A = this chain, B = another copy of it.
Amino acid sequence: MLAATRVTTAARGWPGAAQGTAFRLGTPDTSLFPFEEWTRIVSRLWREPPPELLRYGDPAGYAPLREAIAAHAGVARAVRCTPEQVIVVSGSQQALDLAARVLLDPDDTVVMEDPGYLGARAALSAAGARIVPCAVDAEGLDVAQARNVAARAVYVTPSHQFPLGVTMGLPRRLALLEWAAERDAWVFEDDYDSEYRYAGRPHAALQGLDADGRVIYIGTFSKVLFPALRVGYLIVPAGLSDAFVAARAIADRHPPTVDQAALAEFIERGLLARHIRRMRGLYAERQALLLELARRQLGGLLDVAPCNTGMHVAGWLPEDADDVEASRRAAQFGVDAAPLSHYRIAPGSPGALLLGYSAVAPREMAEGVARLARALAQLPVRRG
A141 to chain B, nearest CB (A): 23
Closest B residue to A258 by CB, please name it: B228
Closest B residue to A119 by CB, please name it: B253
Any chain B CB within 8 A of the CB of A48? yes
Collect the chain B residues with CB atoms within 8 Å of residue A27's CB. Answer: 55
State whether A240 and B4 are in contact (beta carbons under 8 Å apart), knowing that A39-B46, A249-B122 are contacts in the complex: yes
Any chain B CB within 8 A of the CB of A1? yes
Q: Pick the contact of A97: B43, B222, B251 (CB < 8 A).
A: B251
Task: State the oligomeric state as a number of copies.
Answer: 2
Interface string of A1-18 (1 = CB under 8 A from B): 111110110110011001
Closest B residue to A242 by CB, please name it: B8
Collect the chain B residues with CB atoms within 8 Å of residue A226's CB. Answer: 54-55
Collect the chain B residues with CB atoms within 8 Å of residue A18's CB. Answer: 55-56
Collect the chain B residues with CB atoms within 8 Å of residue A257's CB. Answer: 228, 230
Collect the chain B residues with CB atoms within 8 Å of residue A91's CB. Answer: 252-253
Closest B residue to A31 by CB, please name it: B51
Interface residues of A (CB under 8 A from B): 1-5, 7-8, 10-11, 14-15, 18, 26-27, 30, 35-36, 38-39, 42-43, 46-49, 51, 53-57, 59, 89-91, 93-94, 97, 101-105, 119, 122-123, 126, 222, 226-230, 240, 242-243, 246-247, 249-259
A-B interface, 4 closest residue pairs, ranked by CB to CB distance from nearest = A94-B252, A11-B246, A228-B257, A4-B243
Known: A7-B102, A119-B250. 15 other contacts (CB 8 A): A1-B103, A7-B247, A7-B250, A10-B250, A15-B249, A18-B55, A18-B56, A26-B56, A42-B43, A43-B46, A53-B228, A93-B249, A93-B253, A228-B258, A230-B252
Collect the chain B residues with CB atoms within 8 Å of residue A49's CB. Answer: 30, 35
Collect the chain B residues with CB atoms within 8 Å of residue A126's CB. Answer: 101, 247, 250
Establish whether residues A30 and B11, one from each chain, have CB atoms under 8 Å apart when the complex forms. no
Q: Bound state CA distance, A175 and B101, in angstroms?
A: 36
Q: Bound state CA distance, A91 and B254, in angstroms?
A: 10
A306 to chain B, nearest CB (A): 26
Q: Pick the contact of A101: B3, B59, B246 (CB < 8 A).
A: B3
Establish whether residues A56 and B89, one from each chain, have CB atoms under 8 Å apart when the complex forms. no
Establish whether residues B8 and A228, one from each chain, have CB atoms under 8 Å apart when the complex forms. no
Collect the chain B residues with CB atoms within 8 Å of residue A47's CB. Answer: 35-36, 39
Specify which of A42, A123, A246 lies most central, judged by the most chain B CB atoms within 10 Å of its CB: A246
